[in-house]
Amino acid sequence: MRRIGFVLNPIAGMGGRVGLKGTDGKVEEARERGAEPRAPERAVAALEALRERSSDVELLTAGDPMGEVEAREAGFSPEIIHEPDEGTTAADTREAVRRFLERGVDLVLFVGGDGTATDVAETVTDAGSETPVLGVPAGVKVYSSVFGVTPEDAGRIAASFDATESREVSDIDEDAYREGEVRTSLRAVVDVPVAEELQSSKQLGGGSVEGLVKGFAAEVDPDTTYVFAPGSTVGAIEAELGIDASALGVDVWREGELLVRDGSESEVLAALGERNVIVVSPIGGQGFVFGRGNQQLSPDVIRRCEVEIVASRSKLDETGVLRVDTGDPELDEELRSWTRVRVGRVERRMLQVS
């Protein structure tokens, strides 16, 4: 029997669709903007995949809202090892992990983003433990390499892994990120199950994007509404078009007019026209097109738009794969097909979304 400690950060990812680029210190603002929790449903998806793959699991978790309800919804009868205070904190996550380690779990499975990964990893490291950890991606930005590609992948890995390897946990300064600057720092190195369905740590793609920028700008259609995703490649296109773009937000532009700058999901939806195109570049080293750092591009937004993916050749060579994790399994399946990626002024490369 495999003993797994499961802990959920219930507020992870709430700031994404409302344009906050993170939830640290912004929970109330996210709620005021209409944000709804997304981590619990992703927790259930991971646990259902775990249970489908293996019935021989003893699950330990924290009380509601940090895992108990989701575990029972997925069909488990968990042992509750920690009751969090009202308004859960990082201290609750760390306490739950400490108790998992005391009980000798075979794996710590957590739901959250890089901040939660840091809390889990530092607790394991401080305890001098070699217990492996595995993340279910639910944060706005997921830079660390300890996460499954999707919640379902994480559940399947948790059920069946038989070896581990060292991987990095990185965290980002969310205040700097909101100001348009990416500052990441290595927080820990921990053991993680070996699996193909783990994402890589985020890396910056190299190579010139000048050709694809010129090519895109030459083909702009005045009757089309363009939704520009975050990222340096897309930002270069916006600069070529003379757009006062947000550094790391989602912008909407049509006929020379910036309709939305650094918009939320609802603002983007309200600005869409008859024909809409999302312009997005995969995250270097990971390959994510949707689901990492651009949750404002929700399933509702994506379904109303065509998608144009742009990337330098070097980024595609380094990444080698395109991935999606929109939170909508049906949409993910629709997006998983061969697609054309603009890599130059007129050149495109066929690549499969997985």
Question: What angle do helix axes 39-53 and 151-160 make, rounded to 10 degrees?
Answer: 40
Q: Which of 49-58, 63-72, 313-322 has the lowest mean pLDDT?
A: 313-322
Give the tens place of pLDDT for each residue, 266-297. 999 999 999 999 999 998 878 999 998 899 99
Strands (E), 21-163: 57-62, 79-82, 107-112, 133-137
Q: Where are the alpha helices (DSSP H) in 191-296?
A: 210-218, 232-240, 265-271
The ranges assigned to domains in the chain are 2-193, 210-352
Q: What is the CATH number of domain 2-193?
A: 3.40.50.10330
Instruction: Check whether 93 has a pLDDT greater than 80.
Output: yes
For residue 40, the model assigns a pLDDT of: 92
Partners of 351 in the β-ladder:
339
Give the tens place of pLDDT for each residue, 180-224. 555 567 788 899 999 988 877 654 443 357 888 988 999 999 999
The answer to whether 177 touches 231, Cβ cutoff 8 Å, is: no
Of the pLDDT bands very low, low, confident and very high (cuts 50, 70, 90), residue 346 is confident
For residue 16, the model assigns a pLDDT of: 45
Euclidean distance between CA atoms 150 and 153, whole angstroms:
5
For residue 28, the model assigns a pLDDT of: 53
pTM above 0.85, yes or no: no
